[in-house]
Structure 1
Amino acid sequence: MRFFTLILLFIAVDVSAQFTNGFEYIHSREGHNVWDKNTMIWRCIKAMKTDAANKEAVQICTCQVEAIDRYFPMGKIKKYERLYPTLSLAKLIEEDTVLQRRIDQCYEAASNANLFFSPVQILAYRDSMAAYIRQNKKEPLDESRINAYCNCAVSIMAKRKINAQNIKDINDPNSMLFNEIAYSCGGYPYKKISPTAAWKVTDSLDVTGNKKIDSVDVVTISGMTKLKVKIGPVVNVWMLDCGATDMLVSETLINKLMELKLVSKNDFLGQQTYNLANGKELLCDVYKINNVQVGKFTVNNLVIGASKETDSFLLGKTFLNKFRRWSIDNQHNQLILEK
């Protein structure tokens, strides 16, 4: 993120006037007194929407101002003062990429300690995050949630004093930062077809069966827990995946369920991207489905995604979350479901 523009903010007024005794100066390359150093540092700090008690802001502004000291020749300064009476220094910096890089490096050094040290940094990163989400969307966004999500995420990063080195953790699904933001802010603000929510009393209405608790036999194959799932007359062996959002099947199976009129075009909910445990992303057609039987229970009002690229069938959280409690009995190889 480029912050030399902060310099342009605080020199947008005329700071090129000569000062008299008692001031520390920024000089021309030849050593002539040109600008008041302390005034420039103060204006830089003010542009960052903070104060002199903020050590990162003071460090950055002092570094940026000192980068200008003895940099420009007096003849060029005078020329730009004539051309741009109130923006001479801004224009000088704007046309000098070497100086811009030095100014950027001042920010980078301070950001190693704390990236979000003032409201300006927080707002700038929040806005760039919102723009990134809009530009790189994988599915429809919930515009009403974007600003709230970004405000929440940046607030957490500021509270944790995230620096330039660990900002990358925001994209690492195994990091504490990524998961704290996902938990606190509700994940990316997509229009989720099937948001995974905690169990609620009304979920019990979607579960039918004569028993309150049932024990379902499972098998472990190559480290994966599998069980029998029945939808109408169709019986298959599915993988139990408590990390998966919904039920996930092949396009072949969903077509078969349509032929049996267990799913119809009226049940189509749209498309949604799913992230698999191996990091692969699948864009799936998503449907509402009923009459999913596991053990003695039949569950309705579920969500199932279908993709050409799916081989194994996954039984995910939207199924498990219909039950008040569930657990795995490793000793007896059973899935315990409690209505």
Structure 2
Amino acid sequence: MRFLTLILLLFAGSVSAQFTNADQFVRSREGKNVWEKSTMFWRCMKAMKADPTNKEAVQICNCQVDQIDGYFPMKLIKEYEYLYPNLSLAKLIEADTVLQARIDQCYKDVSQTNLFFSPAQIMSYRDSMAAYIRRNKKEELDESRVNSYCDCAVSVMAKRKINAQTINDMNDPNSMLFNEIAYRCGGYPYKRVSTTTAWKATDSLDVTSNKRIDSIDVITVSAMTKLKVKIGPLVNVWMLDCGATDMLVSDTMINKLLQLKLVSGNDFLGRQTYTLANGKEILCDVYRINNVQVGKFTVNNLVIGASKETDTFLLGKTFLNKFRRWSIDNQRNQLILER
């Protein structure tokens, strides 16, 4: 990410300050004094909203000033001062890709140890992240959450002092950074039709039974745990998947449920993308469904997704999270549910 702070700062007015170097001027290639180093340095610091105790910002600003010192010939400087009286240095740098790369390297050297070293850099990355999310959205975004999500994400990364090597961890679903951001910031700000949450006391109202605890027989097929699920007159074998968000069925199954009026058009919540265990993403029609029976329990207010790309029915967290506790007894091959 380009961070040409110095170029941006040259639009501001002069700043008076004492520069630490004995040599107080940026010179032309021929050695003539052209610009005050102190002015350029403090403009750079001001742009990053950094104070003198910020070692990374000081390093970057010193480095950028040093890169310009002795770089431009006097003839070219005078030409640009004539063409751009107030923006001559900014325009000179803008026209020189080699110098731009050197100035960028000043930032990159620091970013190897701490990518979020100043408030300005944090804001810059946050804005870039928000733009990236909007540009690469897979579903409809909840615009009210985009900025707050990005604020939260960069706050997590800044506190952890993420560097240029570890920034890619935020895209790895197995990394600590990815999961900390997802946990603290609520995941990507899509306008979700299904919001699976952890158990809460009111969920017990969606579970009916004359028992508080029930043990349901399960079978293991190809390392998958399966059990019987009944919806109306339909009894099928479903895979228990605590990694799945909702219940997931084929479009054939949802059509049967519609025909039997176990779900209706009024239960339709919208469309949503789900990611399967193999990483494949599928777009599903999503419905609210009631009267799902497992063992002695009948569960209401569940979410079920349907896709023509689905063959195995999944019983996911929407169902499991209705119960206060659940566990698998591997010795007895049973799912134990407690409401």
**Same-fold call, TM cutoff 0.5:** yes
- Measured in 2, the distance between the counterparts of 1:141 and 1:40 equals 41
- Measured in 2, the distance between the counterparts of 1:147 and 1:159 equals 18
Aligned position for 1:329: 329
Aligned position for 1:79: 79
1:165 counterpart = 2:176: no
Contact 1:14 1:87 in 2 (8 A): no
Deviations 1:98-135 (A, max 9, x none): 11111111111111011111100111111111111112
Match for 1:161: what amino acid? K
**Do the aligned partners of residues 236 and 245 (structure 1) sit closer, same or farther apart at CA in structure 2, a change above 3 Å counting?**
same
- Measured in 1, the distance between the counterparts of 2:13 and 2:48 equals 19
Identity %: 77
Match for 1:67: what amino acid? Q
Superposed, 1:52-71 pairs within 5 Å as 52-71=52-71
CA offset at residue 39 of structure 1?
2.5
Contact 2:268 2:288 in 1 (8 A): yes
**Do the aligned partners of residues 204 and 163 (structure 1) sit closer, same or farther apart at CA in structure 2, a change above 3 Å counting?**
same
Superposed, 1:155-234 pairs within 5 Å as 155-234=155-234
Deviations 1:279-305 (A, max 9, x none): 111110001111111111111111000
Superposed, 1:251-290 pairs within 5 Å as 251-290=251-290
Match for 2:248: what amino acid? L
Match for 2:168: what amino acid? K
Secondary structure class of the residue paired with 1:193: coil
Deviations 1:192-233 (A, max 9, x none): 222111222221121112211110001111211111111111
Match for 1:51: what amino acid? D
Aligned position for 1:298: 298
Aligned residue pairs: how many?
332
- Measured in 2, the distance between the counterparts of 1:109 and 1:329 equals 54
- Measured in 1, the distance between the counterparts of 2:11 and 2:209 equals 73
Match for 1:198: what amino acid? A
CA offset at residue 311 of structure 1?
1.2
Secondary structure class of the residue paired with 2:193: coil
CA offset at residue 38 of structure 1?
2.8
- Measured in 2, the distance between the counterparts of 1:142 and 1:306 equals 23
Match for 2:123: what amino acid? L
CA offset at residue 64 of structure 1?
1.1
Aligned position for 2:9: 10
- Measured in 2, the distance between the counterparts of 1:202 and 1:168 equals 39
Match for 2:11: what amino acid? A
Deviations 1:66-102 (A, max 9, x none): 1111111100101111111111101101111111111
Secondary structure class of the residue paired with 1:162: coil
TM-score (norm 2): 0.95
- Measured in 2, the distance between the counterparts of 1:14 and 1:267 equals 61
Secondary structure class of the residue paired with 1:169: helix
TM-score (norm 1): 0.95
Contact 1:244 1:276 in 2 (8 A): yes
Aligned position for 2:149: 149
- Measured in 1, the distance between the counterparts of 2:65 and 2:311 equals 61
Contact 2:249 2:306 in 1 (8 A): yes
- Measured in 1, the distance between the counterparts of 2:49 and 2:240 equals 52
Match for 2:6: what amino acid? I
CA offset at residue 275 of structure 1?
1.1
Secondary structure class of the residue paired with 2:114: coil
**Greater CA drift, 132-141 or 308-317:** 132-141
Match for 2:9: what amino acid? F
- Measured in 2, the distance between the counterparts of 1:221 and 1:111 equals 49
CA offset at residue 10 of structure 1?
2.2
Match for 1:7: what amino acid? L
**Do the aligned partners of residues 14 and 30 (structure 1) sit closer, same or farther apart at CA in structure 2, a change above 3 Å counting?**
farther
- Measured in 2, the distance between the counterparts of 1:169 and 1:263 equals 41
Contact 1:218 1:335 in 2 (8 A): yes
Aligned position for 2:19: none
CA offset at residue 24 of structure 1?
2.1
Aligned position for 1:239: 239
Contact 1:26 1:68 in 2 (8 A): yes
Contact 1:229 1:235 in 2 (8 A): yes
